[in-house]
Amino acid sequence: GESVGLHLPTLSVQEGDNSIINCAYSNSASDYFIWYKQESGKGPQFIIDIRSNMDKRQGQRVTVLLNKTVKHLSLQIAATQPGDSAVYFCAEINDSGTYKYIFGTGTRLKVLA
């Protein structure tokens, strides 16, 4: 099926290497951030979240880093696997109470065998 990542920036990583996907967010007042993974033909899937009172959070094989000074968010994937190939979006909530997300532009991750 048609990929949702046709025109998005692409990161190519060798299988087994670590991946770092970056995101710049828009609002310094945003207090909650999420990374989503979207595979072709599917809806976004929650990976990991972080609140603004933290600068790092770890999950299983994934780590999110938050730098509020420069409004930057990154997703690190350890030992990248072919199943990690997808489009990755960051999202921020910048209007607390409305639960409305603002999505970043997305990055397509390609894992090379």
- Residues in contact with other proteins by CB under 8 A are 1-8, 32, 34, 36, 41-46, 49, 89, 91, 93, 98-106
Nearer to other proteins, 78 or 110 (CB): 110
Q: Can you tell me which residue has the tokens 């692409």? A: 10
Task: Count CB-CB contacts under 10 A for residue 21.
Answer: 23
- Which residue lies nearer to other proteins by CB, 19 or 44? 44
Q: Which is closer to other proteins, CB of 5 or CB of 73?
A: 5
Q: What angle do CA 4, 24, 67 make, to 5 degrees?
A: 135
Minimum CB distance to other proteins, residue 72 (Å): 17
Please say which residue, 78 or 102, places its beta carbon nearer to other proteins: 102
Sequential DSSP letters for 48-107: EEEETT-SEEE-SSEEEEEETTTTEEEEEESS--GGG-EEEEEEEE-STTT--EEE---E
Q: Least distance to other proteins from the beta carbon of 5, Å?
A: 7
Minimum distance, C-beta of residue 16 to other proteins, in the bound complex (Å): 28
